[in-house]
Chains A and B, each alone.
Chain A
Amino acid sequence: MVISFLSALLILVGLVFFLGAGVGILRFPDFFSRMHAAGKGDTLSTLLIIAGFALYQMRDLANSEASVSAVLVALKMLVIIAFLYIASATSTSALAEAGWEDGNDPVIAPEHENRLSGPPESCSAAADLNRSSTHDSQP
């Protein structure tokens, strides 16, 4: 009974994370922040929900009444978890790289441009700024 409540708690926490991923993929302004929400929330919610069902499959293990097939199913669920833990991060990284090279621009406020999107002058100015700040902090 305790294990059932624990697995239900895991599943509900996974649903909450999936709600966060859905809101993020719907409302974020550019491709990369949507990618961020989809990658993290989707992976963690999937892991939590499948872990909840695997825990429910292993509920008879404490009474040593578990059949072999139930333990095998739980092990396969753990295999799915291990696979998704690697594969979801890999596909997120590959899709983000493909989106960057496809020409998607991140939405950046004008005073917060980084050195990848700015012209080379701002790049050297930022380097000068860093150099002078380190010189100021040294003595």
Chain B
Amino acid sequence: MTFEHFSIGVGVALLLLMIPAMCRIVMGPTTMDRIVGANMVGTKTTVLLVIIGVIFGKVDMFIDFALTYALLNFTGAIAAARYLRHKGRRGIVLVSASEESV
């Protein structure tokens, strides 16, 4: 068994283990749950690109794709977090007022 066969097995296992995150994306109660699941899938796609490079023997090409995908995933997560926070819906003011009263 060469390392390439082992890499194929690792890729298949990684795809199978992505299924819980996919389930969380589909049935997540809130939007933030879906973003967390998508972030997890995106991080694992970085690993999967490295594995594809090892399998096809072109790691020097696919490693750049993986690096770019990691950057894009991070940017997307930060942008979604900045976009989806509704300021003031949570009672931050209430907590600070209670601290002042104490």
Contact = CB atoms under 8 A, between A and B. Distances in A.
B70 A98 contact: no
21 contacts: A4-B3, A18-B14, A19-B17, A22-B19, A31-B36, A42-B40, A42-B44, A49-B10, A49-B50, A57-B59, A73-B63, A76-B63, A76-B67, A80-B46, A80-B67, A95-B80, A98-B32, A102-B31, A102-B32, A116-B95, A123-B99
Interface residues of A, number: 52
A129 interface: no
Given A15-B10, A94-B82, A127-B102, A77 B3 contact: no
A66 interface: no
Contacts of B23: 26
Contacts of A91: 39, 74, 77-78, 81
Given A91-B78, A124-B102, A84 B70 contact: yes
Given A11-B10, A53-B54, A83 B67 contact: yes
A103 interface: yes
Contacts of B77: 91, 94-95
Given A98-B82, A104-B30, A127-B102, A25 B37 contact: yes
Interface of B: 3, 6, 10, 13-14, 17-21, 23-24, 30-33, 35-37, 39-40, 43-44, 46-47, 50-51, 54, 59-60, 63-64, 66-67, 70-71, 74, 77-78, 80-82, 84-87, 89-90, 92, 94-95, 97-99, 101-102
Interface in A82-117: 83-84, 87-88, 90-91, 94-95, 97-104, 115-116
A97 to B, nearest CB: 7
Contacts of B95: 115-116
Contacts of B74: 83, 87-88, 90-91
A6 interface: no
Given A15-B17, A73-B59, 19 more contacts: A4-B3, A15-B10, A18-B17, A23-B20, A25-B20, A38-B37, A46-B43, A73-B60, A77-B50, A80-B50, A87-B74, A94-B77, A95-B39, A99-B30, A102-B86, A102-B90, A104-B30, A120-B101, A127-B102
